[in-house]
């Protein structure tokens, strides 16, 4: 059986407290800015997607297609 390796976003000095709400949103915005700059399917952007998906609560509608905030709106 293949071994599963779990990772989360690395520590970020901009968010020193335990409340990670702003950290989640910042990574989400970075992901969509990357998509706007490099286009859909960019391997570099997937790093940001993994970060925001690991930080943001699953109950938030960020993961729903069509509900994203575009980089031009931020």
In a domain, 50, yes or no: yes
Domain that holds residue 35: 20-72
Q: How many distinct structural domains can be found in the chain? A: 1
User: pLDDT by residue (tens digit) across 22-52?
Assistant: 888 888 889 889 989 998 878 889 888 888 8
Report whether 44 contacts 62 (CB < 8 A). Answer: no
pTM passes above 0.75: no
In a domain, 2, yes or no: no
In a domain, 67, yes or no: yes
Q: Sign of torsion, CA 3 9 22 52?
A: negative
Neighbours of 70 (CB within 10 A): 11
What does the mean pLDDT of the chain come to? 76
The CA distance from 42 to 3, in Å, is: 26
- HEC assignment per residue over 28-63: HHHHHHHHHHHCCCCHHHHHHHHHHHHHCCCCCHHH
């Amino acid at each position: 059986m293949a071994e599963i390796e779990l990772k989360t976003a690395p520590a970020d000095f901009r968010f020193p407290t335990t409340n990670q709400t702003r950290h989640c949103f910042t990574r989400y915005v970075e992901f969509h800015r990357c998509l706007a700059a490099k286009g859909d399917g960019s391997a570099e952007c997937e790093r940001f997607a993994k970060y925001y998906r690991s930080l943001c609560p699953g109950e938030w509608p960020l993961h729903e297609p069509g509900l994203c905030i575009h980089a031009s709106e931020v």
